[in-house]
Structure 1
Amino acid sequence: MENNGANFPLHFLGNRLEFPPVETANQDGLLAVGGDLSPERLLLAYKSGIFPWFNDDALILWWSPDPRMVLFPKKAKVSKSMRKVLRDDSLTLTQNKYFHEVIEQCAQVERKGQEGTWITSKMKSAYTELHKKGFARSYEVWEDGNLVGGLYGVDLGGVFCGESMFSLRPNASKYAFIKMAQELDAKGYRLIDCQVHTDHLESLGAELIPRKKFMELL
């Protein structure tokens, strides 16, 4: 079993572009506090198996949970009802065309059991900058000319790190997720990082794996 980090003090980041080893994260996966959301630090974080997650009035928190929720693209589950949705022409998909709108919707759409959003103004600015540099990508779902769903994340090439998704109509985010998984599978991507467990992600085929295995795949 990996060290759960219980004996390690919390690491506070300064200006240096570095992170502590992921094995030093605590039992909840919290690894470090502070630093910034520059494109360079964000890319280093994702390449190191780390992601930011914090509230608007808090310091930046950096996480590397164990186990890690991932989807192997070939294992994406498509239910009978979703197979019908995928065959239907009522929904269409675009990529990387409306990144700003997708991240705004992900921040605004209410979710059951969740108060507020972790997609703060700082986060939106940071990922928009990553998008401009070609690393953050979005998938948009349309119905009758209206944006009804989508998702965004960080594309490392071979690994896609999903950040958030939204639906304004039933199955829209599932449509985006499944279409993305199928595309990435065809391109030979190793996995989609989903970060933490949710029943919704599990229903789509995502699974928990040890952080050590995740780091090897990364």
Structure 2
Amino acid sequence: MEKNKTNLPLFFLGDRLEFPPIETATEDGLLAVGGDLSSERLLLAYKNGIFPWFNEDALILWWSPDPRMVLFPYKVKISKSMRKIMRCNKFTFTQNLRFEEVVDNCAKVQRKGQEGTWITPKMKLAYLKLFEKGFAKSFEAWQGNQLVGGLYGVDLGNVFCGESMFSTQANASKFAFVKMVEALEKKNYKLIDCQVHTDHLESLGAELISRDAFMEILKG
């Protein structure tokens, strides 16, 4: 799914905190345009299976794709090589220790088929506010005293909505991801929302489910 590569829907958001029914999204999941990135709107979006994703200097685009890429914690795939890395203590793991730094590093990642970054200064500020209010979390991988990998996202209490990850050392982001999954599984989280398909996420055990099935779990 590429941002800004589809016909815009007719629903433009104003100042009211509302979204159209997710069933009205376009074939590739584009639901609405405009609005703002206030904490209230972001939380309303995530609680209803919607997330923002747009290019810099563009209108805010809101998405609700069908199918949805998710990971059930008990289905996480840990390769033999990753198990070895986890046993040898190459990396250490922390939570919420460097949220802003994780976001900054995610913004710098060069992604195939994507020009620039969707993590704009306004987007960063919006998620920092969510973090300050306890609705966003970061998970970090360290090598010594150096931050070498991590990810962040929005925490809905029983579902974690992953936003982005980065790695400056081989396997560091995978390590942080697996450790995060293990931590959330212990707290009985139902699933991790990965939003859209990537081969990397699939290799870690993520799978596509229907939007209806995703919403049933999200609202359950």
1:176 corresponds in structure 2 to 176
1:111 partner SS: coil
Q: Which runs of 5+ in 2 are unaligned?
A: 1-7
Give 1:153 shift: 0.2
Residue 123 of structure 1 aligns with which residue?
123
Q: 1: distance between equivalents of 2:168 and 2:111?
A: 11
Checking the alignment, whether the CA contact within 8 Å between 1:30 and 1:61 is kept in structure 2 is yes
Provide TM-score, normalisation by structure 2: 0.94
* 1:205 counterpart SS class: coil
Structure-2 separation of matches of 1:69 and 1:198: 9
Give, in angstroms, the shift of residue 113 of structure 1: 3.8
Name the SS of the counterpart of 1:119 in structure 2: coil
State the match for 2:140 in structure 1: 140
Answer yes or no: is 1:210 the counterpart of 2:198.
Answer: no
- Aligned pairs, how many? 211
**Structure 1 residues 96-137: Cα deviation after superposition (integer angstroms, max 9, x where no partner):** 011000000000122344321111111101000100101010
1:9 Cα deviation after fit: 5.0
Partner of 2:71: 71
RMSD of aligned residue pairs (Cα, Å)? 1.1
Aligned-residue sequence identity (percent) comes to: 73
Contact conserved, 1:158 with 1:191, CA < 8 A, in 2?
Answer: yes
Report Cα offsets for 1:154-187 as digits up to 9, x if no partner: 0000000000000000001100111111111111
TM-score (norm 1): 0.95
In 2, Cα distance between equivalents of 1:147 and 1:111:
20
**Residue 213 (structure 2) pairs with residue 198 (structure 1):** no
- Does the 8 A contact of 2:53 with 2:118 survive in 1? yes
Match of residue 24 from structure 2: 24
For structure 1, which segment, 84-93 or 38-47, has the greater mean C-alpha deviation from structure 2 after superposition? 84-93
Kindly report structure 1 stretches of 4+ aligned residues shifted beyond 4 Å: none
In the alignment, is the contact (CA less than 8 A) between 2:9 and 2:33 conserved in 1? no
Runs of at least 5 residues in structure 1 that lack an aligned partner in the other structure? 1-7
1-side partners of 2:87 and 2:215: how far apart? 36
